């Protein structure tokens, strides 16, 4: 187990005459035994970040520390970490036993000890009965376990996983996800997990690092990321269905700020801890999650009028696509499926769950005070970000 | 606290980076290091290619500037004299002409046989696997063995072809195929078609198998008939493969030595003598090493012209990651 | 409609039969000739008169034939080993390392692939004599290596490129050094390419005529293709023995290729072969 600090990491790729920025000024600290996820759209630099931590790529600028030791120039095998690759990279010409034991063999471990250790980790992921098979004789899920077992075999301090579930079908993915979490709870390695699937990140991690175009957007516990998104990108990336974003004007009074949307307005108390940014802007973007919109039949004074354009039942909920004076909105309604396209409805936006974002920078200005069953952010020791080391 | 740390790592805090200052010099250094690292891996191959291919080529250029016979140790400088001799020699022009003529004819015949055979073997017929094996057969038969069996079959005394033709009453007298003016070239063509058409078949078949079946299905759904499917789906996918085959086979057929030599010894007279046979005769039978070397240089030069055209069309570097 | 389809199917099978006949007949003739006695063979009947192993027995009884066979096998096996080793090393180097001039290298490989053997063998004759490689199996073996080497390098280059870098990276993370990764991880992954290269190297060397014809003049170093064609030039032409020699030449190549046919596909699909 070890903590990891990334400080001012910068990486670009040059192919031919073009240079392509992959990671831009990344700072990240991961505590001992913590499970963190790197999440973001495809191509945002997650894998590159992970590979730099592993030592498979070297950053153009910035430093990487493991347990306070600068490992930026240390070769991969000496960093005390293992990695699970997206396609597993299980050696097809070796049996499962040889695959898991390969790192031990290289380390020069005695045969008997190797065998013992291989059995141990194989038991951990429940593949003891497959040890003599070749990878081609395994299913996708079994291969994934072999890859995980191999990563654990040398008992590294840190385990890196690059989209390890993306090649599995949906059901197996859910099951394996839960098993991974249990595994982490049992063995407690520091784990860094790359995924483009926000649900995986939310369910697995102690903290989530959200990236976009090579830039870290927010690094916090899942509940915080969900309830207090740092900016518009995080707000719309995390959560499904996506948060509604509606342009609004702000009018600042003595004790309250009035938020106006065409056909609806509300007033928020001024000066509380809910306000994060400047309180004197006259325009903002309102963010509201679909399930924080209450839908009433018919037109009601003081509520936002809208027309149903489409209903998608999901089993327990209905996703309503709405048209409010030309603006497309989405609401999520529990236990009601009797809407029809063309129905006139009116909407209540929950003030406790309302967010405001700056129009230009996208930074959050205001978060409603409600918490969805928050859990405390994990306390962690270890060095704080080594700012300015670059 | 978490929100706070998010704030800290928000974009704009870290000024976007300047590029690596040592960019230019680092690149040159890296390429030197890269060359140094790769050298041991390439060395064995380069040594052998250097000894067997590059060395002799340079030596031939040098030798072609001298007059030297096989038994004397004297080298008499003649400059481009050997080349002048060649250009004025009727034998040289007839050998070069026959070489081109033989290469073009044999490639045309190989394609004319090979393409239909490949299309046939690509169809879903019973016994297809066996037939493919049989077509591959000539490719595995050593050329010398094949030349001998054709020499036997085409003999006028105990050859099976003459035997059949005479007993069917088509001809009165057995024809000495390999020794006759009219038949030496066709006979050589038949033998080389048998030996090298499989190359054409195999390469085209391999290409045909990579054409997506869904393309044909789509064309079928759109109402294309069999001929239209061939013209619009098969042929375009074969174009580059055909080009590759034509170029490789032309250069190889032009430089063939053993087949014409073993079948006809370049005869009758010197009618089926191509450049390699001529070069062999000049060097080892007439003992004119300088002149023979000049002939080799001519062959190298033709190869270079041909291969340059070939590589600029086929662009081998596209198939590998150069960066 | 049904009749036209039936007809076209029938035509297809007819064509298939004709194709098989054309490509099989010379092989049949060789086999038939090798099993007949010399006088029978000369009568050129389509079916063998009698079957005897006389030709084979006589052939094997000849010391010179045994010598040729041994020489051919030695040269073919040695050049297969050398060519495959060089091709694997060079292909790996070209695929894995960054250095300038790779594009030129790829063209150079194709150039080498097309060199005319006879035009090389004429100057080589002198060179080999001056460095004491003339009339040696070792010298001949080196020339045979160059027949398959360019193709081998090209195939291995492409093969190593297709191996996902994750295997190598994973081995590195597990602590394997560059050479160990090459030997224990990447080479086994490129096994079918390697086998294809070895087959071609063997087949090309086994049947090679031109280098052997020009470079080897001593009886002790002659290979089978040269030795057997010399039977023809003797006064008394023993065709049944020649056909038997042809069969003994064809069989090893035939067996090798048919047992390893699936590996051939790898070779054929990656840009053709020499021939
Ligand atoms: N080896 C490379 N050469 C050039 N560009 C690369 C390389 N690896 C990654 N990139 C580019 O860097 C960006 C980030 O890639 P990556 O980290 O793989 O994204 P992802 O978040 O999907 O894992 C992408 O735009 C990608 O095209
Ligand atoms: Mg990725």
Angle at A368 between CA A366 and CA A369, to 5 degrees: 120
Q: What is the pLDDT of residue A188?
A: 86
Residue C274 has pLDDT above 70, yes or no: no
Q: pLDDT tens, A82-110?
A: 999 988 889 999 999 999 999 999 999 99
Neighbours of A149 (CB within 10 A): 26
Q: Report the alpha-carbon distance of residue C246 to residue B302 in Å, rounded.
A: 34
Per DSSP, the residues of A198-250 read HHHHHHH-SEEEEEETTEEEEEE-HHHHHHS-SBHHHHHHSSSSPPEEEEEEE
Q: What is the pTM of this model?
A: 0.82
- When the pLDDT of each residue in chain A is averaged and rounded to a whole number, the result is 88
Continuous H helices in chain B: 2-8, 23-49, 55-63, 81-88, 90-122, 128-140, 143-153, 160-167, 184-209, 213-221, 226-229, 235-254, 258-264, 275-280, 289-314
Mean pLDDT in residue range C195-200: 88
Q: Sketch the domain layout of chain C as residue ranges.
A: 61-270
- Residue A361 near chain C (CB below 8 Å): no
Q: pLDDT tens, A17-67?
A: 889 999 999 999 999 999 999 999 999 999 999 999 999 999 999 999 999
Max Cα-Cα span within chain C: 74
Q: Which of B149, B163, B320 sits opposite C44 (nearest CB)?
A: B163
Q: Closest residue (by CA) to atom 24 of ligand 1?
A: A43
The complex's ipTM works out to: 0.87
Q: What is the pLDDT of residue B206?
A: 81
B64-321 CATH fold: MetI-like fold (1.10.3720)
User: Which ligand has the shortest distance to the CA of A49?
Assistant: 1
Contact A363 B10 (CB under 8 A): yes
Contact A220 B3 (CB under 8 A): yes
- Each residue's pLDDT, cut to its tens digit, for chain B (323 residues) gives 333 333 333 333 232 333 333 345 666 777 788 788 888 999 999 999 999 999 999 999 998 888 887 677 777 788 888 898 888 988 899 999 999 999 999 999 999 999 999 999 888 888 888 888 888 888 778 888 888 889 888 887 778 888 888 888 888 888 888 888 888 899 999 999 999 998 888 888 888 888 877 888 888 788 788 888 888 888 888 887 888 888 888 888 999 898 889 888 877 878 889 999 999 999 888 888 889 999 999 999 988 988 888 888 877 777 666 54
CATH of C61-270, one of 2.60.40.680, 1.10.3720.10, 3.40.50.150, 3.40.50.1100: 1.10.3720.10
Task: Spell B249-267 as b/e; 16+ CB within 10 A means b.
Answer: bbbbbbbbbbbbbbbbbbb
Interface mutation target, options A71, A93, A104, A134, chain C, most CBs of C under 10 Å: A93
Per DSSP, the residues of C106-145 read HHHHHHHHH--HHHHHHHHHHHHHHTT-TT-HHHHHHHHH
Query: Which residue of chain C comes nearest to B58, CA vs CA?
Result: C123
Chain A residues in contact with C185 (beta carbon < 8 A): 91
Neighbours of B74 (CB within 10 A): 8
The answer to whether the beta carbons of residues A8 and A389 sit under 8 Å apart is yes
Q: What is the pLDDT of residue C64?
A: 87
Q: Report the alpha-carbon distance of residue C202 to residue C78 in Å, rounded.
A: 9
Contact A220 B19 (CB under 8 A): no
Q: pLDDT tens, A352-387?
A: 899 999 999 999 999 987 665 444 344 343 333 333
Contact C167 A154 (CB under 8 A): no
Residue A204 has pLDDT above 60, yes or no: yes
Neighbours of C47 (CB within 10 A): 5
- Residue B151 near chain C (CB below 8 Å): yes
Per DSSP, the residues of A304-329 read EEEEEEEEEE-SSEEEEEEEETTEEE
Contact C99 B320 (CB under 8 A): no
Distance of CA B314 to the CA centre of its chain: 13
Contact B2 A224 (CB under 8 A): yes
Beta-bridge partner residues of A84? A161
Chain C residues in contact with B258 (beta carbon < 8 A): 209-210, 213
Instruction: Tell me, in angstroms, the distance from the centre of ligand 1 to residue A163's CA.
Output: 14
Mean pLDDT in residue range C244-264: 80
What percentage of chain C exceeds 70 in pLDDT?
91
Interface A–B counts its CB contacts (< 8 A) at: 66
Q: Which of B48, B304, B306 sits opposite C142 (nearest CB)?
A: B48
Nearest atom in ligand 1 to A46's CA: 21
User: Which ligand has the shortest distance to the CA of A86?
Assistant: 2
Q: Which of B42, B56, B306 sits opposite C124 (nearest CB)?
A: B56
Q: Sketch the domain layout of chain B as residue ranges.
A: 1-48, 64-321
Count Cα neighbours of C196 within 13 Å in the Cβ-side half-sphere.
25
Phi, psi of B240 (to 5 degrees): -70, -35
User: Which ligand has the shortest distance to the CA of A41?
Assistant: 1
Q: Report the alpha-carbon distance of residue C222 to residue C71 in Å, rounded.
A: 7
Cis peptide before A132 (omega within 30 of 0): no
Task: Spell B171-209 as b/e; 16+ CB within 10 A means b.
Answer: eeebbbbbbeeebbbebbbbbbbbbbbbbbbbbbbbbbe
Nearest atom in ligand 1 to A51's CA: 17
More confident residue, C270 or B113: B113
Distance from CA of A337 to the nearest CA of C (A): 49
Q: Report the alpha-carbon distance of residue B6 to residue A234 in Å, rounded.
A: 11
Helix (H) or strand (E) run with residue A288 in it: strand A283-288
Neighbours of C166 (CB within 10 A): 17
Instruction: Tell me, in angstroms, the distance from the centre of ligand 1 to residue A43's CA.
Output: 6
Pocket test of ligand 1: the residue of A10, A12, A22, A211 to mutate, having most ligand atoms within 8 Å of its CB, is A22
Continuous H helices in chain A: 46-54, 96-106, 111-124, 140-153, 170-187, 198-204, 222-227, 232-237
Contact A75 C172 (CB under 8 A): yes
Chain C residues in contact with A95 (beta carbon < 8 A): none
Q: Which of A27, A207, A224 sits opposite B3 (nearest CB)?
A: A224
Distance of CA C156 to the CA centre of its chain: 17
């Amino acid at each position: 187990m070890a903590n990891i600090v990334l400080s001012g990491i910068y990486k670009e790729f040059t192919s031919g005459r073009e240079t392509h920025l992959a990671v831009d000024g990344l700072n990240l600290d991961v505590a001992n035994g913590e499970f963190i996820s790197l999440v973001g759209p495809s191509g945002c630099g997650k894998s590159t970040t992970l590979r730099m931590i592993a030592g498979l790529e070297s950053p153009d600028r910035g430093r990487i520390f493991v347990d306070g030791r600068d490992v930026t120039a240390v070769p991969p095998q000496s960093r005390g970490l293992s990695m699970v690759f997206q396609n597993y990279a299980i050696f097809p010409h070796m049996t499962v036993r040889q695959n898991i034991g390969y790192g031990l063999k290289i380390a020069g471990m005695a045969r008997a000890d190797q065998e013992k250790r291989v059995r141990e980790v194989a038991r951990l992921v429940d593949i003891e009965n497959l040890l003599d098979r070749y990878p081609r004789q395994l299913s996708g899920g079994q291969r994934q376990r072999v890859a995980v077992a191999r990563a654990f075999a040398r008992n590294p301090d840190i385990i890196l996983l690059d989209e390890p579930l993306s090649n599995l079908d949906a059901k197996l993915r859910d099951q394996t996800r839960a098993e991974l979490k249990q595994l982490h709870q049992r063995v407690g390695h520091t784990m860094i997990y790359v995924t483009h699937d926000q649900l995986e990140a939310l369910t697995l991690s102690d903290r989530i690092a959200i990236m976009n175009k090579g830039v870290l957007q927010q690094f916090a516990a899942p509940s915080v990321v969900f309830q207090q998104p740092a900016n518009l990108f995080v707000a719309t990336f995390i959560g499904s269905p996506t948060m509604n974003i509606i342009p609004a004007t702000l009018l600042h009074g003595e004790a309250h700020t009035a938020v106006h949307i065409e056909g609806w307005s509300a007033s928020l108390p001024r000066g509380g801890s809910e306000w994060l940014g400047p309180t004197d802007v006259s325009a903002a973007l309102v963010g509201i999650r679909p399930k924080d919109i209450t839908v009433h039949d018919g037109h009601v004074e003081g509520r936002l009028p809208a027309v149903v354009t489409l209903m998608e039942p999901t089993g327990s909920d209905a996703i309503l696509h709405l048209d409010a004076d030309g603006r497309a909105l989405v609401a999520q309604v529990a236990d009601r499926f009797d809407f029809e396209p063309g129905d006139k409805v009116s909407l209540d936006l929950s003030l406790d769950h309302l967010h405001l974002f700056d129009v230009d920078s996208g930074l959050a200005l205001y978060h409603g005070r409600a918490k969805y069953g928050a859990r405390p952010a994990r306390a962690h020791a270890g060095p704080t970000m080594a700012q300015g080391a670059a | 606290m978490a929100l706070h740390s998010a704030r800290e790592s928000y974009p704009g805090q870290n000024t976007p980076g300047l590029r690596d200052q040592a960019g230019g010099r680092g690149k040159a250094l890296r390429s030197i290091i890269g060359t140094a690292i790769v050298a041991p891996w390439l060395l064995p191959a380069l040594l052998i290619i250097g000894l067997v291919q590059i060395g002799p080529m340079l030596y031939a250029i040098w030798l072609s500037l001298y007059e030297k016979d096989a038994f004397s140790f004297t080298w008499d400088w003649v400059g481009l004299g050997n080349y002048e001799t060649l250009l004025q020699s009727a034998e040289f022009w007839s050998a070069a002409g026959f070489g081109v003529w033989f290469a073009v004819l044999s490639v045309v015949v190989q394609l004319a046989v090979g393409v239909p055979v490949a299309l046939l073997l690509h169809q879903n017929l019973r016994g297809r696997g066996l037939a493919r094996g049989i077509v591959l057969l000539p490719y595995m038969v050593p050329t010398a063995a094949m030349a001998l069996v054709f020499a036997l079959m085409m003999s006028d005394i105990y050859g099976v072809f003459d035997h059949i033709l005479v007993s069917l009453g088509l001809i009165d007298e057995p024809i000495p195929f390999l020794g006759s003016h009219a038949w030496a070239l066709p006979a050589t063509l038949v033998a080389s078609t048998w030996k090298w058409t499989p190359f054409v078949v195999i390469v085209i078949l391999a290409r045909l198998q990579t054409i997506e079946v869904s393309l044909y299905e789509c064309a079928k759904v759109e109402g294309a008939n069999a001929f239209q499917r061939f013209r619009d789906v098969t042929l375009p996918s074969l174009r580059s493969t055909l080009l590759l085959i034509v170029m490789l086979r032309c250069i190889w057929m032009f430089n063939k030595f053993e087949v014409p030599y073993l079948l006809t010894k370049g005869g009758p007279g010197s009618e089926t003598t191509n450049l390699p046979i001529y070069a062999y005769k000049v060097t080892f039978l007439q003992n004119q090493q300088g002149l023979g070397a000049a002939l080799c240089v001519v062959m190298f030069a033709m190869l270079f012209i041909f291969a340059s055209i070939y590589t600029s069309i086929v662009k081998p570097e596209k198939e590998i990651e150069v960066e | 409609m049904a009749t036209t389809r039936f007809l076209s199917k029938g035509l297809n099978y007819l064509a298939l039969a004709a194709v098989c006949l054309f490509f099989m007949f010379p092989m049949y003739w060789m086999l038939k000739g090798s099993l007949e006695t010399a006088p029978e063979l000369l009568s050129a009947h389509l079916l063998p008169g009698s079957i005897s192993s006389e030709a084979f027995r006589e052939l094997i009884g000849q010391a010179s034939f045994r010598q040729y066979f041994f020489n051919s096998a030695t040269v073919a096996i040695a050049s297969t080993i050398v060519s495959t080793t060089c091709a694997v090393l060079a292909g790996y180097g070209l695929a894995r390392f960054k250095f300038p001039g790779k594009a030129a290298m790829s063209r150079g490989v194709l150039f080498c692939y097309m060199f005319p053997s006879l035009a090389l063998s004429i100057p080589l004759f002198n060179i080999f004599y001056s460095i004491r490689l003339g009339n040696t199996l070792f010298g001949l073996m080196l020339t045979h290596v160059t027949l398959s080497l360019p193709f081998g390098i090209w195939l291995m280059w492409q093969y190593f490129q297709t191996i996902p870098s994750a295997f190598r990276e994973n081995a590195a993370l597990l602590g394997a050094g560059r050479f160990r990764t090459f030997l224990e991880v990447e080479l086994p992954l490129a096994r079918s390419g390697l086998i294809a290269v070895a087959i071609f190297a063997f087949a090309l060397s086994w049947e090679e005529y031109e280098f052997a014809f020009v470079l080897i003049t001593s009886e002790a170093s002659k290979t089978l293709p040269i030795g057997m064609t010399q039977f023809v030039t003797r006064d008394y032409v023993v065709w049944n023995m020649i056909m038997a020699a042809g069969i003994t030449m064809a069989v090893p190549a035939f067996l090798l290729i048919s047992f390893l046919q699936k590996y051939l596909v790898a070779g054929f699909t990656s840009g053709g072969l020499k021939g």
